[in-house]
Amino acid sequence: MSEDAKDADPSIGMKLFSAWFWFYLVASLTVFWFAVAIPWLLITPFDRRRRFSHWYAYTWANHLELMSLWRIQVEGGEHMREDTAYVLACNHQSSGDILTLFSLRKQFRWVAKRELFAVPFLGWMMAMAGYVGIKRGDPNSRKKMMAKCRRHLELGNSVAIFPEGTRSESGDIQPFKIGAFVLACEADAAVLPVLMEGTREALPRASFVFGVDALIYPIVRVLEPLHPADYGNDPERLRDATRAVMVRERAVLRAEIEGRGGFCVPPPYVAERAGSGRRRGRS
């Protein structure tokens, strides 16, 4: 994607599409919530991990991809084993990161701003799935958040955290806060670095208007886990090692994307899968 394309104002068509998409998101979320309310009441007493609620949340999120101009590609998903609970350390570039990470189709619980839980339907669904709220700058809220996250890890649920604390304005990975790594060391849970690229280009940080008037292929790349014991169960060492790996691997990922011509050009394996599907259809 050229710099001119990134700097250009969105077209009228893109503004109209964006308005339609956000309207559809709100409408579908409302419908999905009413559809799940009674099954949730029936299933939850037998579902301590809230697996059903999270499955329902990512099913709703994944269907939105079909209504958008995004075709999210997950790489390295095998590093996130179903029988292991991780602390996911994710970079943060856009409000689209949450929908993007749902493409993992794995059991995990978000740590999110507490204000989001007050949003009708969205907040209710987050609470139903057992996501964890935090009020920024409130030590008591942080303490409660850590306790809830430890409980999730004990139950076998991974926990997803943005250690940068907020979205990066430049797209570069910002300094990490220590909380996620204290949690990993206390719970003896591996940190799983997760990179997301393309969300900032598709949905700029301070805008609700999509930035690219074409199909775009954001990437979710799951890296190999880092184990606290390998860093002496020292949260600072674990934090620094995680960030160093993510900065290095993000540079590699960006080079790959630029090498194929930008986010609007699908990775080679997308074309290979499509070709394989066509061959199977003719056989």
**Average pLDDT of span 80-93:** 95
218 vs 215: CA distance, rounded Å: 10
C-alpha distance from residue 50 to each of 45, 47, 128, 271, 282 (Å): 9, 5, 8, 36, 42
The rounded percent of the chain whose pLDDT value lies above 70 is 93
Examine the pLDDT at 279 and tell me if it is beyond 60: no
**Average pLDDT of span 240-263:** 96
103 vs 278: CA distance, rounded Å: 24
Examine the pLDDT at 280 and tell me if it is beyond 80: no
Between helix 235-259 and helix 179-187 the angle, nearest 10°, is 120
45 vs 40: CA distance, rounded Å: 9
What are the CB-based long-range contacts (under 8 Å, 24+) for 140-147?
Answer: 141/114, 142/179, 145/111, 146/179, 146/182, 146/183, 146/186
DSSP strands (E only) in 41-190: 73-75, 87-90, 108-113, 132-134, 158-161
| pLDDT at site 197 | 93
* Contacting residues for 37 by C-beta, under 8 A, at least 6 apart: none
Residue type at 253 in one-letter notation = L
**H-helix or E-strand spanning residue 39:** helix 12-43
Place of tokens 């949690």: 183
Phi, psi (deg, nearest 5) at residue 158: -70, 160
User: Under a CB-based contact definition with an 8 Å cutoff, are residues 54 and 125 in contact?
Assistant: no
| pLDDT at site 96 | 86
DSSP strands (E only) in 67-189: 73-75, 87-90, 108-113, 132-134, 158-161
pTM above 0.85, yes or no: yes
Examine the pLDDT at 2 and tell me if it is beyond 80: no
**Average pLDDT of span 234-256:** 97
Instruction: Find residue 208's DSSP bridge partners.
Output: none
| pLDDT at site 8 | 59
Predicted confidence (pLDDT) per residue in 160-193, tens digit: 999 998 888 778 999 999 999 999 999 999 999 9
Q: Which of 42-56, 204-218, 258-272 has the lowest mean pLDDT?
A: 204-218
Q: Give the tokens for residue 114.
A: 């507490």
